[in-house]
Each structure stands twice: as structure tokens, then as C-alpha cells.
Amino acid sequence: MTDLFFYGTLRHLPLLELVLGRPLSELTIYSASLRDHAVYGVKEQAFPMILQEANSIATGVVAHGLSTEDLKRLTYYEGGFDYDLRLRIVERDDGSTVEASVFYPQPDLWTPDRPWSLQEWAEKWGEVSVLAAEEVMAHYGRVDAAKIARSFPAIRTRAWARLAARHRKGVDQRDIQQDVVLHCHTRAYVDYFGMDEVDLQHRKNDGEMGPVLHRSGLMQGAAVIVLPYDPVRDTVLLIEQFRAPVYLIDDPEPWMWEPVAGMIDPGETPEQTAHRETQEEAQITLTNLEYAGGAYTSSGTSTEYAYLYIGLGDLTETVECGGLATEGEDIRSKILPFDDFMSRVEAHDFKNLPLLMLAHWLARHRDRLRG
């Protein structure tokens, strides 16, 4: 049996219970502190780090009597964050001391920010972190921690999209708690994308429950798609980049002309993503966004939900090397007069569906935008 001192996100008990995979009522958990240490947020990240700091006190909790299996699960989860375990003497509230293991970050891996608050973190990141941990721990025992670490940014992006989807309501009065029966849910694959498989039944239009169906879904985050438009010059801007899926289907033209597009990062709004991606991919600063709708891009195969925008701005310059090198992007852009653009749309020159949708939306609203 082992004692662990938690100073960071695993002090959030729903997250700790999920990672351990068993009720916390089976454990003894008590408050404790570690002298000459402080907990800071990691710069540009949603988790904390602990540092040795004289005359400071890091507060946390100790989980007493963890089993070998508990430690394996915790190490698997924390392995995605590049932590090591070290023994330290921590102090209980009654002044007694106990030896406990502590997760320390790799030296010089991250840059500390301001002092970290569990309450502030839980309010902003608690729910999405639990959702991300659900996917991580579903692969425990099947996928090594190094692969999970590489996939973790995409896992968090999917968790952020799942959180948004839970609040997406329409006019359908059917209740999925009553009208869908889930028999089995398997997370079959994890990488930049995930692949989930389910066996389920759903209520048919005649009111009866249908047969058990086996279905798969490509698990993705939510995306933003922006067509930049200059209402003064009456021009649009397109970007071109290589698309591996188009190549994989044996299309001889995998370089695609598209709108600006990108995934919504955890913590971002769709509008923030629209401005960020337009700057990254096309080096254009937008003055305004016109919302053109939101929808699932391929509801029979994928979870991706796309927010569509016309981005207004001055279109005077193009790029030859746009995008982020860290993401393997090699993007060029071009500016087209609106009439030339629509002529190419009508000639079926473009193979990107969101581009066609935004083209027709722009055609309907162009006079208003120019006015």
C-alpha cells in the first residue's frame, strides 16, 4: 500500500475517482501540506506544476493506502503530463507527518505562471478535464502512455466539443434517455482522431424499439470555417493546402482550395478560433464576423460540428507560406473577384463542401454586406 500527495488537478475528486476507476469511499483521503514548495499554473496550459520554493507551503490531499493497480492507473494518467514520482514528508492538519509520493514535472519542461487555484481551475476546466480523462482511461491497458501523451491535445479538443454538444438543443421532443438503449460502447482507436464503436437500439417512427445496431463514429472536435470577404473590393480569399484523406482515396488533386478552417481549442469560443485561424493561415486580421450557420459536417460518420462564418476585412495581400510549421501546414492563399469566384463555383472547380455552402450564403447576403 502507498500514500500519494496530490497538489493539483487530482485534488478534484470526480477526476481522481475516474482515474482510479473505483469509488473514493474505498479510500482514506485527508488534507495535508508540503513545506518549502509552491504550486503554480503552467504557462499557456490548463494544469499546474509544483516547485521547490523556500518558505512556501503547497496544500493538497493525501490518498492513503493506494493499491498497486491504483498506482498503475495514476502513473498511466500522469504519464501523459511528463511527471515523475518522488517520496516526500508531508504534514497533516494535526501536525503529524507522513511519507507520501509526489508527482513532479520533468525539469525545465514547463514555464510557471501565477499561483494556481483549485477552485478557479475547477470552475473553468473541471468538467472538460473529466471528459478528457474518460477517453484517456478507456485506453488503459491497451494503449501505451506515450501514445496517449501525443494524443492528449486532440483528446482535450474532443472533450471541449463534447461539452458544447451537450448544450446544443433544438426542437426535437424525443428523450434519448427513453428512446435510445446503449448496450456497448468501445473506444476502438485513439490518435489525432478517435474511433468509437457502439451497439445500440433506438425507437423507430412507429414507436417500437428497433433492432440492435452496430455503428462506428469518427470522434472529432468542433471546427470553425471562415471565408474572408472584402466588401469594399468585392473579393474573397481562398487558401490551398495538401489534404491527406483526398490523397488516400486516390484523387489525383489532393491540393485543395478551401476557406480558412481550424479546430476550436479548449477554452476558446468559435469566434476566437475564427480570428486566430484566419491570422495563422492567411495572415489576415478580420474586422467582423458574419455567422452563416452551424451543422454536423457528416452526421453519418463523424462527430465534427462546424461553425460557418464570412469574415470581413481588407484583402490586399496573399501568402505563400502560411500556417503553423508545428502542425505541418504549408498554405498559400489567393484573392479572387467575387464574380470570378462564383463562376468557378458554378463550373464545379472546387471540391470543398463548406466552401460551396459559404459561397451560396455570401451570394444571398452580398448586397447587404456591401451596403
| pLDDT of 51 over the 70 cut | yes
What CATH number should be reported for the domain holding residue 14?
A: 3.10.490.10
**Residue 322 has what pLDDT?**
82
Query: Is 163 contained in some domain?
Result: no
Instruction: Tell me the average pLDDT across 353-357.
Output: 98
Instruction: Give the predicted TM-score (pTM) of the model.
Output: 0.91
Judge contact between 307 and 222, C-beta under 8 A.
Answer: yes
Domain identity same for 7 and 109:
yes
Domain identity same for 71 and 49:
yes
CA distance to 1, 30, 35, per residue, from 96 (Å): 19, 12, 13
Domain identity same for 186 and 273:
no
Domain identity same for 102 and 120:
yes
Using only C-alpha atoms, what is the Rg of the chain? 25
Residue range 142-193, pLDDT digits in tens: 999 989 989 999 999 999 999 999 998 878 889 999 999 999 999 999 999 9
Query: Which range, of 45-59, 296-310, 319-333, 346-360, averages the lowest pLDDT?
Result: 319-333
CA distance to 54, 57, 70, 81, per residue, from 88 (Å): 15, 13, 19, 20
Percent of the chain with pLDDT over 90: 85
Boundary (domain end) residue, out of 112, 129, 157: 157
Give me the amino acid identity at 54: A
Q: Where are the alpha helices (DSSP H) in the chain?
A: 13-20, 68-79, 118-121, 127-138, 145-166, 176-179, 244-248, 270-282, 338-346, 353-370
Provide the grid cell at 7: 497538489
| pLDDT of 235 over the 90 cut | yes
What CATH number should be reported for the domain holding residue 328?
A: 3.90.79.10
| Cα–Cα distance for residue pair 73/133, rounded to 1 Å | 11
| pLDDT of 300 over the 70 cut | yes
Domain identity same for 103 and 184:
no
Domain identity same for 18 and 148:
yes
Domain identity same for 184 and 64:
no
**Residue-number span of the structural domain to which 189 is assigned:** 169-219
Q: How many domains does the chain have?
A: 3
Domain identity same for 192 and 334:
no
DSSP tally for the chain: helices H, then strands E = 10, 16
Domain identity same for 300 and 189:
no
Query: Is 162 contained in some domain?
Result: no
Confidence band (pLDDT; 50, 70, 90) for 321?
Answer: confident
Residue range 67-117, pLDDT digits in tens: 999 989 998 998 756 677 889 999 999 999 999 999 888 888 889 999 999
Judge contact between 307 and 294, C-beta under 8 A.
Answer: yes
Query: Is 164 contained in some domain?
Result: no
